[in-house]
Structure 1
Amino acid sequence: MPTKTLADLAKSMKDIDIAMISTHTTGGEIAGRPMSNNGQVEYDGTSYYFTYDKSRTVADIRKNAKVSLAFQGTKAFLVAVEGKALLIQDKIEMKKHWTPDLDRWFKDGIDSEGLVMIQVDATRIHYWDGEDDGEVKL
C-alpha cells in the first residue's frame, strides 16, 4: 500500500534537475537520454521537456508514444514514470512551460526554429524512498 501521494512525490521531485526519458527505437531497442526537469512547474502527473523536431527522441515518439521517465533524488529517492508522450509545437502552449533557464539550450528561446515540447502524461508512477516504496496510478 503506497504511503506517498502524488503531491508528496511532486514536492520531492521539485529538487531533481535531470530526468532520463526512454523511448522505443525503430529496431525495438530502448534509448534513454537526459532531459532538464523543469522544477519550476508543479508536477501533477504531466511532465514537459523541450527539444528539436529533428531529434531522435521526437522520431521515436512519433513511432511509439509510450515512454518512461526516471528521476533520482537524494538519499535513495527514485521515481519511475510510465506514460504517453505528445509532441506540441504550439508556441502558446510552449510559453506556459518555458523558463529562462531553457535559453541556455535554445539560442532563440521560444522562437528557436524546430522547437518541440514533449508532454508526458503519466499512467503509473513507481517510487522508492529508502525502504518505503509504492505506486501511484493515474
Structure 2
Amino acid sequence: MAELQMSDAAAKLKKIDFCMLHTNNEAGVFSVRPMSNNGDVEYDGDSYFFSYVDTQKVSDIERNTRVGLTFTAPPSLLGKPGIFLAIAGTASLTRDKSQFETHWVKELERWFPEGIDTAGIVLIKVSATEIQYWDGEDNGRIPLAKL
C-alpha cells in the first residue's frame, strides 16, 4: 500500500470524534485524558480543543508545550482493524474570541453554557510535528509538508 498523505489522515480524522490528549504533568509523567474535536477536522496538521483554563491539562501545557494525541477508528464492517494515529505536537493556548468563533460548534454549549463568552474558557491548538499510523496492515509516518 502507498504511504498515507496528509489528505488521507484528514479523511480518516473526519470520522473520529474523540482522541486522547497526552501532556506532561509536574512530575514529568504523562497525564492522559479524552478530548473531543467536535467535528472540527478540516485537518491540516492542527487540532483544536476547548477547555477551561483552570484544568490540569492547561497547567501542564503552560509548563511544557510538547503533547501527543492518539486517535483510533473502529474496525470496518468487514473486520479490518480501524486506523490508529499517533500525533506528536506542540500545544498553544489562546483566549482570542475570534478564534473561538472559528472553531465553535453549538454542541459545545453542553460544557460551556455561555458559549464563547463562558468565563475561563480557552482554546488549545495542537500543531503536529510528527504523525505515525498503523491500519492493521501498514504503518508509517505521514509527511508534514507545512513544517
Task: Give the structure-1-normalised TM-score.
Answer: 0.95
Size of the alignment, in residue pairs?
A: 138
Give the corresponding residue for 1:101.
Answer: 107
8 Å Cα contact 2:65/2:92 also seen in 1: yes
- Say yes or no: does 1:85 pair with 2:94: no
Residue 120 of structure 2 aligns with an amino acid whose one-letter code is G
Provide the rounded CA distance (Å) in 1 between the counterparts of 2:39 and 2:14.
5
* Map of 2:24 onto structure 1: 24
Cα deviation 1:13-60 (Å, max 9, x = unaligned): 111110100000001110000001232430110000000010100000
Which structure's CA Rg is the greater one? 2
The answer to whether residue 106 in structure 2 is matched with residue 112 in structure 1 is no
Cα distance in 1 for residues equivalent to 2:104 and 2:24: 26
Percent identity between the two aligned chains:
45
Contact preservation (8 Å) 2:10, 2:41 = no
Gaps of 5+ in 1: none
Which runs of 5 or more structure 2 residues have no equivalent in the other structure?
Answer: 76-80
- More strand per residue: 1
Structure 2 counterparts to residues 32-43 of structure 1, below 5 A? 32-43=32-43
* 1:13 partner letter: L
Give how far 1:134 is off.
1.0
State yes or no: 1:127 paired with 2:128: no
Counterpart amino acid of 2:28? G
Distance in structure 2 (CA, Å) of the matches to 1:118 and 1:2: 32
Instruction: Select between 115-124 and 98-107 the one with higher mean Cα deviation.
Output: 98-107
Per mean C-alpha deviation after superposition, the further-off stretch among 107-116 and 32-41 is 32-41
Q: CA RMSD, aligned part only?
A: 1.3
Relative to the length of structure 2, the TM-score reads: 0.90
- Structure 1 stretches (4+) deviating beyond 2 angstroms? 38-41
